Amino acid sequence: MTDEGAPQPHVNRWGDTSGQAAGAGGHPRADACSCFDQSRPRPRARVGFHSERQDTSAPGWQHLLDLVEEAAADGREEFRPLVELSPQERRQIVTLPPSIARLTTVKHLVLYGSNLVRIPPEIGAMSSLEEFTPYTSYRLHWFPYEITRCRKLNRSTVSTRALFGNYKLRPFFPRLPTASGPVAGLDPGNLDPRRWGATAIHRCSVCDRPVAPGGLHQVWMSLRVATDVLPLLVNACSTECVTALPVGSQGSIPTPHQGGRVEQPESDWD
């Protein structure tokens, strides 16, 4: 966990990416984010999911796929993909490929200064992961519940002011659809990321069984993962799986909820 104010330059301990700063030729490495004010409390500000879809034809995406394959093949323990990409390529990456599930030997995943807006649930298959560093990824506001499957994960460095519901600013969580609403008849393989947080949801975050069409139950949980309390999006296949979720971390909303203007504990940050 890192105590920080407004996004600003920092000494870079994790590679040659540098957040919002421009690279050679003046090309920014990341887009600006206005989802909520990350520098001061505005608890009633509207929040939402980022709507970007990953352009899988972009050179940066193709380069990233190659880097993941290389890392899986050589069995490396540390994976810093962004330092291998140009500033333009880094800006093209808004998520990671599902193939990160093959990185079962990686102990440290470094995503310093990324342009990511979401992490895929396949991160849960990174069984050796011990340290996770998405620091200064200011557009990354939440994480998939599947990250809790990384049982060895014990260290993290996250820009906490960028997170939904963080204890410093208490921004709201995006409002999730109810089971009695637009979920009925939903095709989980073709989703609007602005509404659902992802373009596809195939398996249950809790039991890993397939999510049937119209059977998606989305809730938020705030749990301590390694060093930080993270807002986790749960994509459950049933109410039973929602009921099986653990109690939320101390100082956070203790039960699963659907976001929106839900009451949160008062911030204890001065």
The residue among 79, 62, 180 whose CA lies nearest residue 129 is 79
DSSP-based three-state secondary structure for 186? coil
Task: List pLDDT tens digits, range 101-128.
Answer: 999 999 999 999 999 999 999 999 999 9
Do the domain assignments include residue 248? no
Do the domain assignments include residue 265? no
Task: Domain count for the chain, please give it.
Answer: 1
Residue 261 has pLDDT above 70, yes or no: yes
Between 195 and 15, residue with greater pLDDT: 195
In sequence order, which ranges of the chain are alpha helices (DSSP H)?
A: 59-74, 87-91, 193-196, 239-243
pLDDT on residue 258: 95
Do the domain assignments include residue 191? yes
Distance CA 215, CA 27 (A): 43
Name the residue range of residue 41's domain.
24-243
Distance CA 237, CA 252 (A): 24
Question: How many other C-beta atoms lie within 10 A of the C-beta of residue 221?
Answer: 24
Task: List pLDDT tens digits, range 19-40.
Answer: 444 444 555 678 989 888 888 7
Contact between 93 and 116 under an 8 Å Cβ cutoff? The reply is yes
Distance CA 113, CA 137 (A): 5
Do the domain assignments include residue 19? no
Both structure tokens of 116: 């990511």
Q: Which residues of 184-197 are buried (b: 16+ CB within 10 A; e: fewer)?
A: eebebeebebebbb
Contact between 232 and 142 under an 8 Å Cβ cutoff? The reply is yes
Do the domain assignments include residue 259? no
- Phi and psi at 203, nearest 5°, equal -130, 155
pLDDT on residue 14: 45
Distance CA 18, CA 25 (A): 15
Do the domain assignments include residue 66? yes
For the segment 64-89, the average pLDDT, to the nearest whole number, is: 98
For the segment 200-205, the average pLDDT, to the nearest whole number, is: 96
Do the domain assignments include residue 188? yes
The residue among 126, 169, 172 whose CA lies nearest residue 148 is 126
pTM: 0.88
Do the domain assignments include residue 131? yes
pLDDT on residue 207: 97
CA 258 distance to own-chain centroid? 17
Residue 90 has pLDDT above 90, yes or no: yes
